[in-house]
Amino acid sequence: MSPVLSVEGLSKAFGGLMALTDVDFEVQEGEIFGLIGPNGAGKTTLFNMLTGLSKPTTGTIHLLGQDLSGKSPAAIARLGMARTFQNIRLFGAMSVLDNVRVPRHALDKASLWGGVFGTSRSRRREREALDLAHELVEMVGLGARMHAPAASLPYGDRRRLEIARALALSPKVLLLDEPAAGMNQAEKQDLSNFIRVIRDRFGLTVLLIEHNVPMVMGLCRSVAVLNFGQLIAKGAPEDVQADPAVIEAYLGVADARGADDEVAIGGGVNNA
């Protein structure tokens, strides 16, 4: 079986600083794939390259066998790669419902004159977009607030709205950037269940950045660990958890090795 998403030899340099170095991994269909690592390890940089927001220095990304090199973020999104943002980026002044309608209109390539004159094709698509938006907004539990501006929602609701908006793209791959940030234990459990439910219902492959190790271990079938831009381990959660390199990255070791100093300074700059 060919992977849904495959990343080969991916590197990203910001000037002389290597934010990512030669990263390889594959994500299989239907998987919930966890990406973990300390702050500044390059997780979000990796997401930005997967979604075309930033161009890789070297390396390739394939989505469903298609090379994404040189494609715009919008084209990549329409091919089926949807994401949420670590620092939530909703369309603040637009209503909850309108936020979720936008990706659908983008997929439809909404016609200006069709919309203004209300052609039957345009009206049908508007209705479909609205029905889908209703369904998704209800599913994430925001049915009662669907006409409120997105910016007026409390933090947790905004996170859920962002997921609903990403789902409106009918994606093959959903990238979640720290979806559990700021949640308590019970909410994290709910979120884990929710991610499984949407994976099954929409036939998704999920790629998840998360700091909370127990959550990742419970949810993901495969995990990759980034540290200072390098993939230091990948595999089943239990194996990764036992990997000495991972333990070192998270807890540090007593005798800091001189050879790592240069890399450590680079990572520090990346953090800041």
Contact 206, 81 (CB under 8 A): no
Q: Does 93 bind other proteins (CB under 8 A)?
A: yes
Which residue type is seen at 161? L
Nearer to other proteins, 61 or 231 (CB): 61
Q: What is the DSSP letter of 33?
A: E
d(CA 252, CA 270): 18
Can you tell me which of 112, 186, 254, 272 binds other proteins, judged by CB under 8 A? 112
Q: d(Cα 132, Cα 199) in Å, to the nearest integer?
A: 17
Residue 167 phi/psi, 5-degree rounding, is -65, -25
Query: Which of residues 108, 135, 157, 190 is near other proteins by CB under 8 A?
Result: 108
Could you say whether residue 58 binds other proteins (CB under 8 A)? no
**Which DSSP symbol is given to 172?**
S
Nearer CB in complex with other proteins: 163/249: 163
Binding segment for other proteins among 20-28, 79-87, 212-220, 261-269 (CB under 8 A)? 79-87
Is residue 116 part of the contact set for other proteins (CB under 8 A)?
yes
Residue 145 engages other proteins in binding (rule: CB under 8 A): no
Q: Choose which of 19, 35, 126, 225 interacts with other proteins (CB under 8 A).
A: 126
Instruction: Give the interface segment with other proteins, choosing from 101-109, 196-204, 206-214, 223-231 (CB under 8 A).
Output: 101-109
Question: Is residue 146 a contact residue for other proteins (CB under 8 A)?
Answer: no
| CA pair distance 142, 69, nearest whole angstrom | 37
Contact with other proteins (CB under 8 A) among 25, 33, 85, 228: 85
Give how far Cα 78 sits from Cα of 105, 108, 184, 193, Å: 11, 10, 34, 27
SS3 262: helix
Task: Decide: is 34 part of the binding site for other proteins (CB under 8 A).
Answer: no
The answer to whether residues 187 and 180 touch, using CB atoms and an 8 Å cutoff, is yes
Q: Does 92 bind other proteins (CB under 8 A)?
A: yes
Residue of the chain from 2, 66, 72, 193 that contacts other proteins (CB under 8 A): 72
CA angle (229 as vertex; 227, 233 as ends), nearest 5: 50
By CB neighbour count within 10 A (0-12 exposed, 13-18 middle, 19+ buried), where does 200 fall? exposed
Cβ-contact 30, 43 below 8 angstroms: no
Given the rule CB under 8 A, which of 19-27, 104-112, 135-143, 225-233 is the region that contacts other proteins?
A: 104-112
Residue 129 interacts with other proteins (CB under 8 A)?
Answer: yes
- 202 contacts other proteins (rule: CB under 8 A): no
Q: In a 10 Å sphere around its CB, with 0-12 CB exposed, 13-18 middle and 19+ buried, how is residue 150 labelled?
A: buried
- Contacting residues toward other proteins, per CB under 8 A: 51, 53, 72-74, 77-78, 82-83, 85, 89-94, 98, 101-112, 115-118, 122, 125-126, 129, 149, 165-166, 168-169
